[in-house]
Chain A
C-alpha cells in the first residue's frame, strides 16, 4: 500500500512540476487555477452521486478546460475575470455538494479525501492511468518540440509564423485537467495547485535557463511530494497540507538563494567598477 503511495507521490509531483512549467510559460496560470477547482467540484459531485470521484473530477475539469480553451481567443481581455468567476462558482458547487453529502451520503472519509487528499487510497488502476498520461505527454512534447519551444519563446511571434498556439494551449490545458484530477487524492482539492505552481516558481528562482528549469521543476515537484509524504507518515499530519508546506518552504529557500546570488553579482559588479 505504501509502495503505491510513493509511486503516486512521484507521479503526482513530477507531472505537476512538469506541466506547471508549461502552464506558466503559456500564460494560463489563472485558468489552470480555476481548472483545479472545477476538478474539486467534480469530485464533490461524484461523491454525492456515488461515482468514482477521480473520474467525475476528470470529466468536470476536462470539459471546463476544453470549453474555456475554445472561448479563450474570443475572451482574451476578460480571461482572468472569467476564470475567477468560475473559480468562485466551482468552490461554491463543491461546498454545496459537501453540505448535501453530510445529510445524504454521510461519507466523512470521502469528504476528507476531497479536501485533504488520501494518498493511501490511490489504486493501481489510477497509477496505470497516470503512467499512460505521462507517456502521452512526453510523446506530445517530443513530437511537437520545435513548435512548443517557439510558443515558449514568444507566443505572438509563434502565432504570426503559423503555429497553432490556440490548439497547443488547449492540449496543455487538457493534460493539466487530467493530472489535477489524478493528483486530487494525493494533495486534496484545495492544495493541488501548490504542486502545480510552487515547483516551477522555485525553478525560476534557481535557474534562468529554460532547459534547466524544465528539469528542476519536476524534480522539485517529486521532492516536495516524497518529503511531504514521509513527514506526514512520521508525524501523522495530513498528506496534502504537508506536501503544500514543503513545496512552499522550497520556494522560500529558492527565493533566498536568488537574493543571495543577486547580491553577490551586484557586489562583484561594484568591485569591478571600482578597480577600473
Chain B
C-alpha cells in the first residue's frame, strides 16, 4: 500500500519584489512540496533561489499569490508558530573573527524558539546534539569561538544547529559553499538520511548540481525569477 504524502509547502501564482525595485525577484511561481522529499533548487546567480526559500518561510511576503507553509498562510501571524517546525541555514552565515559565541552556544540557541519561560535546561539539547556531532564530525570544534573557525567549519556548525531542532522542513541555502569535497559528501549524506528517517522535507539551494544530484528527489531549475524546469529523479 502506498503512503499518502502530505503537502508541506504550496505556492500559488506567487510573485515577490524587493522594496523600491520594479522588477519582481520571482514571478508567477506555482509549486508544491511534499513531506519526505529532498528538493534541490538550482540556477545561476540572480535566478531567485534564495528569494524563493525565504518566501516559503514567510520572511518575504508576496505582492501577488499565496504561500502556505504547513497549512498556514505565510501572511498570517500564525506563521511564527509553524516556523518553529522549520530550520534554516542561510547563505550569509559567516561570523567575523571577533564573534565570541562558542559553537556549542550557537547550536544551543537553535532550540531557543521552543523553550518555555525561564527554561534554561540543557538536557534535551545534549541528547539531541550527540548523534549530530558524530555524523558531522564537529566534536573538536564545539568549545571554540565561532569567529575563530574556518568557513567550512562554521557552515557545519550551522547545519548542526538546523538538525538539532528536529525540523519538519529544512531550508538550506548553498550549504556546500564553504565545504571541501569530503565534507560535502558527509553533509549531503546526513541531510538525505535525516529526510528519510524523519519523513521531513528539505529544500536545498545549490548553484552546483554535482554534490546533490545523487540525493535529490526533485530538481527545480530557475532563471530570472522563473521556474524553467522541474525534474523528478
Chain A residues closer than 8 Å to B109, beta-carbon distance: 146, 149-150, 153
In chain A between 141 and 187, which residues have their CB closer than 8 angstroms to a CB of chain B?
142-147, 149-150, 153, 156-164
- Chain A contributes a number of interface residues (CB within 8 A of B) equal to 23
Most central of A143, A147, A153, A162 by chain B CB within 10 Å: A162
Asked whether any CB of chain A lies closer than 8 Å to the CB of B84, the reply is: yes
Known: A146-B120, A157-B88. A162 touches B113 (CB 8 A): yes
Quote the shortest CB–CB distance from A218 to chain B (angstroms): 19
Chain B residues closer than 8 Å to A272, beta-carbon distance: none
Known: A142-B118, A146-B120, A153-B106. A161 touches B87 (CB 8 A): yes
Asked whether any CB of chain B lies closer than 8 Å to the CB of A208, the reply is: yes
A230 to B133, CA, bound (A): 55
Chain B residues closer than 8 Å to A163, beta-carbon distance: 80, 112-113
Known: A146-B111, A150-B109. A162 touches B59 (CB 8 A): no
Interface size class of B (residues with CB under 8 A): 20 to 34
A210 to B83, CA, bound (A): 27
Asked whether any CB of chain B lies closer than 8 Å to the CB of A209, the reply is: yes
Asked whether any CB of chain B lies closer than 8 Å to the CB of A77, the reply is: yes
State whether B113 touches A145 (Cβ < 8 A): no
State whether A150 touches B113 (Cβ < 8 A): yes
A160 to B98, CA, bound (A): 24
State whether B100 touches A210 (Cβ < 8 A): yes
A161 to B162, CA, bound (A): 9
A76 to B61, CA, bound (A): 13
The residue in chain B whose Cβ has the minimal distance to the Cβ of A149 is: B109
State whether B59 touches A156 (Cβ < 8 A): yes
State whether B90 touches A156 (Cβ < 8 A): yes
Add 12 more A-B contacts to A142-B118, A144-B117 (CB < 8 A).
A143-B118, A146-B111, A150-B112, A153-B101, A160-B83, A160-B88, A160-B90, A160-B171, A161-B87, A161-B112, A162-B86, A163-B80
